[in-house]
Chain A
Amino acid sequence: MLEAILLGVVAFIAQSEYALGTSLLSRPIVTGFLTGLVLGDVQSGVTMGAYLELAFIGSFSVGASIPPDVVTGGVLGTAFAITAGAGEETALLLGLPIATLTLILKNIYLGIFIPLLSHKADQYAEQGNANGVARMHLISGFGLSLMLALIVTFSFSVGSNTVKALLEQIPEFIKHGLTVATGIIPALGFAMLAKLIINNKVAPYFFLGFVIMAYLKIPVTGVAIFGAIIAVIMVSLTKPQPVVQSQGELNEQDDDF
């Protein structure tokens, strides 16, 4: 039980990467080492961590996509393999599905729970309560670290087979449905952002950016450079007064979120 709790602490520290400058503490090469320390076999831990690191090399978050969870995958994969006296392939075999399954819980947390707190923060902001807003941020972050720590502690104490069987109970359509939902939730963020800066005069540029991306699939930076060039051309062609007029109307709509 002590080991299970300590492994939870390892997961907590690993997830704290995101409070410590996205400093790569959650990578399997690091968590493998720490898991090895907890279980008294540093050498195996480091080796398995290295193998898992290579397996998860493509799994890091850029933009809106969240990869399989390397924290639980790394810690539990290594821990189960060490306690079973097995090799790196066992760590991989257990680590990958665990990481994928944790992603489901994480998606609910990142897609529903934090947005809920985020809207609570909107209300605090409305009242000029900066501490309330800060609290929502901290609860969001520490909550996820705690959740991953609990998953690790719980899973390690009940054992790998039980965990697998339990997770297989969730119907496939619900898992898939939540994946679908997380695919479209960014639309809300974009719509809120667009609502903030859009007015009749600049609305066509939204579609221009969209069409460039849809047909040409260039990086967003490329679109921004196009945008900069067009902005320079348009500014030198027109005298833009209507921008200010439309703000009043927009601001009053913005009050509700």
Chain B
Amino acid sequence: MNKMMTSKNKNQLITKQDLRRVFWRSFQMEFSWNYERQMNLAYVYAMIPVLKKLYTKKEDLAKALKRHLVFFNTTPHIVTLLLGITTAMEEKNATEKDFDDTSIDTIKTSLMGPIAGIGDSFFWGTLRLIATGIGTSLAINGNALGPILFILIFNIPHILFRYILTGIGYKLGTGFLDKIQQSGMMQTLTYGASIIGLMVVGAMTASMIEIEIPILITTGDSQTSVQNIINDIMPCLLPLTTFGIVFWLLKKQAKPLTIIAGMAIFGILCSYFGIL
């Protein structure tokens, strides 16, 4: 990772070793995956060496840790691109007083979707299928070379990408941000990025929350499900309602844990009465 250090900056605190640590820690990106905030813990985990180095004051470190504990999800194999970018942004935030730290959230939120779009189709859709094709064709005859080739074909390109993108991300982050700050465009960028971010969150609300009512209604000869009627009103109305209720509860200072427990009880009750 020699090339990544080209941009000379008097405020540069992040070294090659720091980036290498982020790279190694990024391997655990799906280790603590969960339904609620998905890769939140793993993202913080990967950032911790950097954050500890940048923020020596307890309250600054606390703010940074909380910042990266929000919902996050992307293709794990190339998450280092975004880790590199946020490392550069955190460095800026630590060294420059008037840096707007909410821009870190918005950049993460607006980029995770596009990165996942490209990454999922390449790693899951293409590379994995090539590896499976070659691997199983040998393994099906009992040849132990099958599983070994399977692992190698997938992981050699994967690790190369993961490594190279760490440096590219960091460079992108520093160069990009320098330019933006010089022209005083940070606010504009935050505004633009929050538009993209919110649209992505809105889209994920429609596509990732699953809730359907399977009850059937018979009127005369025709039979239709409640879900069909709802879909005629508006598709994904129930996910939107769910989102709305949760959002409202959060505004009312409800504890996230209470909300999760409530959801489990709600699910079991609705299932018992056959509503959901």
Chain B residues near A186 (CB, 8 Å)? 35-36, 204, 208-209
Q: Which stretch in B165-173, B219-227, B244-252 binds the other chain?
A: B244-252
Q: Is the CB of A47 within 8 A of B139?
A: yes
Decide if B66 is an interface residue (CB 8 Å cutoff): yes
CB < 8 Å: which of A130, A136, A244, A256 contacts B52?
A130
Given known pairs A24-B154, A111-B36, A140-B34, the reply for A234 and B102 (CB within 8 Å) is no
Q: Is the CB of A126 within 8 A of B144?
A: no
Report the contact-size class of chain B (Cβ under 8 Å from the partner). 35 or more
Interface flags, B239-271, vs A, CB<8A=1, else 0? 110110011001101011101110110111111
CB < 8 Å: which of B128, B147, B271 contacts A174?
B271
Q: Is the CB of B155 within 8 A of A24?
A: yes
Given known pairs A24-B150, A141-B31, A230-B199, the reply for A220 and B113 (CB within 8 Å) is yes
Nearest Cβ in chain B — how far from A187, in angstroms?
A: 5
Tell me the dominant secondary structure on chain A's binding face: helix
Q: Which stretch in A92-100, A158-166, A200-208 binds the other chain?
A: A200-208
Q: Is the CB of B199 within 8 A of A195?
A: no
Q: How far is the CA of A188 from the CA of B209 in the complex (A)?
A: 10
Decide if B6 is an interface residue (CB 8 Å cutoff): no
Given known pairs A49-B139, A110-B33, the reply for A64 and B202 (CB within 8 Å) is no
Q: Which stretch in A2-10, A26-34, A146-154 binds the other chain?
A: A26-34
Decide if A83 is an interface residue (CB 8 Å cutoff): no
Q: Is the CB of B147 within 8 A of A46?
A: yes
Decide if B29 is an interface residue (CB 8 Å cutoff): yes
Decide if B20 is an interface residue (CB 8 Å cutoff): no
Interface flags, B63-76, vs A, CB<8A=1, else 0? 00110011101001
Q: Is the CB of B257 within 8 A of A115?
A: yes
Q: Is the CB of A221 within 8 A of B135?
A: no
Given known pairs A23-B158, A173-B271, the reply for A243 and B114 (CB within 8 Å) is no
Q: Is the CB of B209 within 8 A of A194?
A: no
Chain A residues near B261 (CB, 8 Å)? 112
CB closest chain-A residue, reference B47? A130
Q: Which stretch in B10-18, B81-89, B174-182, B183-191 binds the other chain?
A: B183-191
Q: How far is the CA of A240 from the CA of B141 in the complex (A)?
A: 64
